[in-house]
């Protein structure tokens, strides 16, 4: 009877130890699931923010391309007035039997040519800056598309594969382990 009582006590301790172990495993299982879900939410939020940033970048690229087109047209539109002003200035300096004079008309023509040249120079600087900006935007777009692809892949792996394997608790506290759980 004494041995039976000791055996019964030992079985009771074993059962309580197994229950404590099962509870600890259950707590760890829930903790890991919560961490996975938090990670999935954070990754999804980051992906959504990247997609919003990509949309803004695409709009900026569209605006920049339109701006570059307008600058090229403005530079092209300055060519005709420049040719006319230069032709007038050349004709005025090469007049036969007339001295080269610096009258108000000549000064006005020189000033007009200088203003047009300065205007074209400024437009070309703006065009160059816009083209550099467009190149940076295209690089940003490529980076964002890559990052979004990485986030999509991460979410797919976490939700489909890892969380798919973790649908059920791998152990029944009364029976024992159901199967060996693979790691992600």
Terminal-to-terminal C-alpha distance of the chain = 51
- 43-74 pLDDT tens trace: 999 999 999 999 999 999 999 999 999 999 99
CA–CA separation, 124 and 28 (whole Å): 65
Lowest mean pLDDT among 33-47, 56-70, 89-103: 89-103
Q: Give me the pLDDT at residue 20, please.
A: 85
Higher pLDDT, 165 or 53: 53
pLDDT, average across residues 98-121: 86
Higher pLDDT, 169 or 72: 72
């Amino acid at each position: 009877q004494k041995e039976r009582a000791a055996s019964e006590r030992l079985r009771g301790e074993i059962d309580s130890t197994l229950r404590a172990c099962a509870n600890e495993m259950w707590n760890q299982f829930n903790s890991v699931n919560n961490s996975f879900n938090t990670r999935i939410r954070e990754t999804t939020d980051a992906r959504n923010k990247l997609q919003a940033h990509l949309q803004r970048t695409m709009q900026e690229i569209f605006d920049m391309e339109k701006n570059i087109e307008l600058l090229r047209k403005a530079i092209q539109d300055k060519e005709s007035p420049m040719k006319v002003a230069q032709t007038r200035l050349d004709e005025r300096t090469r007049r036969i039997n007339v001295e080269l004079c610096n009258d108000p008309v000549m000064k006005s023509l020189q000033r007009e040519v200088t203003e047009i040249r300065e205007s074209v120079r400024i437009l070309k600087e703006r065009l160059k800056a816009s083209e550099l900006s467009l190149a940076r935007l295209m690089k940003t777009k490529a980076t964002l598309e890559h990052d979004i692809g990485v986030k999509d892949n991460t979410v797919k792996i976490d939700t489909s594969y890892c969380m798919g394997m973790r649908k059920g608790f791998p152990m029944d506290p009364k029976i024992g382990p159901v199967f060996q759980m693979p790691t992600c």
